[in-house]
Amino acid sequence: MLLAVARLALVPAICTAQVQATQAKATQAQTGRPHVVVLLADDMGWGDPQCYQGDSKIPTPNLDRLAAAGIRFRDAHTPSSVCTPTRYTLLTGRYCWRTSLKKGVLDGFAPPLIQSGEDTLASMLKRRGYRTACIGKWHLGMQWHDKDGNPVERRGVGVRFRPGDGIDFRRDVTGGPMDVGFDSFFGISASLDMAPYVYIRDRRVETLPTERHQELDGTIFLNGVSGVKSPGFDIHGVLPRLGDEAVNVIQSHASRDQPLFLYMPLNSPHLPIAPSNSAKGKSHAGDYGDFVWQTDQVVGRVLDALDTAGMTDNTLVVFTSDNGGLWHWWDFRADDDGGKAPITPRGQYVKDFSHQSNAHWRGTKADIYEGGHRVPFIVRWPARVKAGQVSDELVELTDIFATVSEITNSDPRGESGMDSFSFLPVLEGNQKPTRPFAVHHSVSGIFALRQGNWKLIEGRGSGGFTRPKHARNFSDNVPGQLYDLDADPGEQKNQWLNESETVRSMKVTLERIRTRRNG
């Protein structure tokens, strides 16, 4: 149900196993305050985990066991096909294109995207008595200052990721997790292919960056762009370090009579592809596959820590990805825009290993096509959710906000939650549709609307990395794309001219969504 329309309180029934648990856990269950752990992979495709694509070349035993113990959604989508907008929407329940960021992503020195006073999952749960922790890749902006004390502004259009020269790293970094509801933070400011290459704990850079990380041969594939770096900072060690920090948070919380919210946005398997030596050769899809395998291992460490702490039964665990996979090759057998898109270097890499990160879905990260935003989405909550379920209900990462709000009987403030629908009825076995539509958004700002089996795309092209990005000169004068995903999941047969009434109706709906205000 849409939060702007109704926010229903949840009074959970207590099963026999919970009654026999400790008094602290029983109290949390009775008051609707389970532990909440959100694990967000970075650029993991729908077809990477073996529980989604059986012939995946990458073993993912921990994601497989998570899915077997909970519910696996097959029609789950990110609100954007790239990093920053999805993270904003997950934490606020509000589409990012309603903010000043209309396309693209932030760099590592961008000012905060979440505004002061804007409600987030963390601030909402903190009011309900939760301990809130964030570990991982933030990528929502922080307020840095230069050596003259001036606040750093957002990079200009066309400006490459900044190296970090001239930043005063001795000052507190504000506007980040600690200022939007989190009690603690450990991680990196943005993606691991952009500066600064430093760890941040709470509001302080852990070790001053007195060295420089060098770009290799102009590519970010294995190393990232040049920029300032802390001594000892190793891109191959970031993922294991995040795992250590998450385990420490869970272990330190085991004896507390307080619910925990842990938000863990991972840096992997986003560029640079940096598996540890211990992960090399663990998959059959090269270094990328090994990096996905290592991501799965970190998920396993978190699940094991919950087991050891006795927290598993009453912990809502959500695993998903911020957008589709980058590593995809699509053969345009019937490209309605004409021509055959060449195989990109990353596509050749994947083709060599016969692994499709996005399975049979068209496109890649950044695209408006399904491969850009259809992602793995797994939920486990042993105390409330029946194991071994598979759902084809339409959900968005946007909906985590409303679902957690309903479960915990929390009230969001302001416009937060305005675009979020609760999927709690699906978790409880009620398969009636909860989300009537989904809005998709590409890296360049192209919109798409999903209603039932129909998907309408404004424009002719991917709007992302797949060529053509923007097709403006086409002979048939068809301005957009319309696909029947039931009959044509590969988005190959444009039905725009054949379904004029569907096009008209969906265009009206999309415009209403774009112009609506909360309440």
CATH of the domain at 484: 3.30.1120.10
How far lies 70's CA from each of 45, 317, 318, 381, in Å? 20, 9, 10, 7
- 419 and 494 assigned to the same domain: no
Please state the pTM of the whole predicted model. 0.91
pLDDT score at 1: 45
Q: Closest by alpha carbon to 154, among 98, 209, 112?
A: 112
- 461 and 401 assigned to the same domain: no
Q: Closest by alpha carbon to 112, among 94, 85, 139?
A: 139
Task: Give backbone dihedrals phi and psi of 249, rounded to 5 degrees, phi first.
Answer: -60, -45
Q: Are 448 and 459 in contact (CB under 8 A)?
A: no
* Residue 222 domain-assigned (yes or no): no
CA dihedral 156, 161, 165, 171 (to 10 degrees): 80
Q: Closest by alpha carbon to 317, among 333, 294, 299, 332?
A: 299
Query: Is residue 221 scored above 70 in pLDDT?
Result: no
Query: Is residue 424 scored above 60 in pLDDT?
Result: yes
Which domain, by its residues, includes 486?
447-515
Arithmetic mean of pLDDT, 260-285: 95
Arithmetic mean of pLDDT, 215-228: 69
* Residue 153 domain-assigned (yes or no): yes
215 confidence band (pLDDT: 50, 70, 90): confident
**Residue that wins the pLDDT comparison between 229 and 350:** 229
* Residue 198 domain-assigned (yes or no): yes
* Residue 257 domain-assigned (yes or no): yes
Q: Which of 430, 457, 481 is the endpoint of a domain?
A: 430
- 158 and 290 assigned to the same domain: yes
pLDDT score at 155: 82
Least confident of 123-137, 445-459, 468-482: 468-482
How many domains, in total, are found in the chain? 2
pLDDT score at 334: 37
* Residue 24 domain-assigned (yes or no): no
Q: For 83-101, what is each residue's pLDDT tens digit?
A: 999 999 999 999 999 999 9
158 confidence band (pLDDT: 50, 70, 90): low
Most confident of 64-78, 221-235, 460-474: 64-78
In this structure, the strands spanning 260-265 and 227-229 are unpaired
- 413 and 464 assigned to the same domain: no
224 confidence band (pLDDT: 50, 70, 90): confident
Q: Which of 430, 456, 486 is the endpoint of a domain?
A: 430
CATH of the domain at 390: 3.40.720.10
pLDDT score at 191: 95
- 381 and 455 assigned to the same domain: no
* Residue 217 domain-assigned (yes or no): no
pLDDT score at 131: 98
* Residue 215 domain-assigned (yes or no): no
Distance of CA 84 to the CA centre of its chain: 9
Cβ neighbours, 10 Å, residue 370: 26
Q: How far apart are CA 97 and CA 488, in angstroms?
A: 28
- 501 and 362 assigned to the same domain: no
- 407 and 479 assigned to the same domain: no
Q: Which of 430, 455, 477 is the endpoint of a domain?
A: 430
Query: Could you please report the per-residue DSSP string of 250-279?
Result: HHHHTT-SS-EEEEEE---SSSS----GGG
pLDDT score at 13: 29
- 346 and 409 assigned to the same domain: yes
- 263 and 410 assigned to the same domain: yes
Q: How far apart are CA 263 and CA 273, in angstroms?
A: 23
pLDDT score at 502: 98
* Residue 498 domain-assigned (yes or no): yes
282 confidence band (pLDDT: 50, 70, 90): very high
- 377 and 503 assigned to the same domain: no
H or E element: which one contains 508?
helix 500-515
Q: Which are the contacts of 330, defined by CB distance < 8 A and separation ≥ 6?
A: 341, 347, 362, 363, 364, 371, 466
Across the strands, what pairs with 201? 186, 204
Query: Is residue 375 scored above 50 in pLDDT?
Result: yes
- 263 and 409 assigned to the same domain: yes
pLDDT score at 24: 44
Query: Is residue 482 scored above 50 in pLDDT?
Result: yes
- 488 and 349 assigned to the same domain: no
Residue type, 510: L
Residue type, 241: R
Q: Report the percentage of the chain scoring pLDDT > 70.
A: 86
